[in-house]
Amino acid sequence: GQNIDQPTEMTATEGAIVQINCTYQTSGFNGLFWYQQHAGEAPTFLSYNVLDGLEEKGRFSSFLSRSKGYSYLLLKELQMKDSASYLCAVRASGGSYIPTFGRGTSLIVHP
Amino acid sequence: GAVVSQHPSRVICKSGTSVKIECRSLDFQATTMFWYRQFPKKSLMLMATSNEGSKATYEQGVEKDKFLINHASLTLSTLTVTSAHPEDSSFYICSLLGSTDTQYFGPGTRLTVL
């Protein structure tokens, strides 16, 4: 099975930088996804990491360390609209190609 | 990416009735779609994998006679919640895999069973 752990809630200030961590334990690894989900809406894709290192996409970056079973999502220049839940999802190898989702981290950005 | 729609966006029904939720792929032919359920402040839980032209594959603990899935075409999958109970109240989301194995989600359906 898979075990995915991320903080339940985080708060940050508009304009700041925030890092949301995700640790996972899985039998085999075939990619890690980050999704953003606003309340009452479906998740939207943010990033995909399958190799170690940092993937940068605008204000959002995602990092992966496969040996440590660890990823983080970095959000820069925070805006109020970034207040949302951020879901870490891990896909195991050799089986279902569907990732398993963590519980999500609720990020609250305040002025 | 793929565009996915769901209908209705929200529905309120009485206990014991059945509710059908449609999931449409608007610009992508999807042989496989996925149905998720999400309770408040909980993770997305995969319920079943919907396969075009064949039976759906259900996850452990999901009753296939209660959650009927039909995937009759490459652009439409339906989920019918039969004999709904208040505990079935949840946010139901469908998704499909795009060409790069990225999941694209529908906007979700909020079901409230009274």
Q: State the pLDDT at residue A1.
A: 64
Question: pLDDT category, B1, cuts 50, 70, 90?
Answer: low
Closest Cα in chain A to B97: A98
Q: Chain B closest CA to A103's CA: distance in Å?
A: 4
Cα–Cα distance between A51 and A63 in angstroms, integer? Answer: 9
Structure tokens at B55: 């039976």
Q: Suggest the residue from B46, B103, B104, B112 to mutate for an interface test with chain A (most A CBs closer than 10 A).
A: B103
Question: pLDDT category, A106, cuts 50, 70, 90?
Answer: very high
Cβ distance of A43 and B91 shorter than 8 Å? no
Cβ distance of A40 and B102 shorter than 8 Å? no
> In chain B, what percentage of residues exceed pLDDT 70?
97
Q: State the pLDDT at residue B17.
A: 97
Centre a 10 Å sphere on the Cβ of residue A67 and count the other Cβ atoms it contains: 6
pLDDT tens, position by position, A23-62: 999 888 989 999 999 988 889 999 999 999 999 999 999 9
- Which member of A42, A101, A106 has the closest CB to residue B106? A42
Quote the mean pLDDT of chain B: 91
Compute the average pLDDT of residues B74-87. 95
Question: pLDDT category, A96, cuts 50, 70, 90?
Answer: low
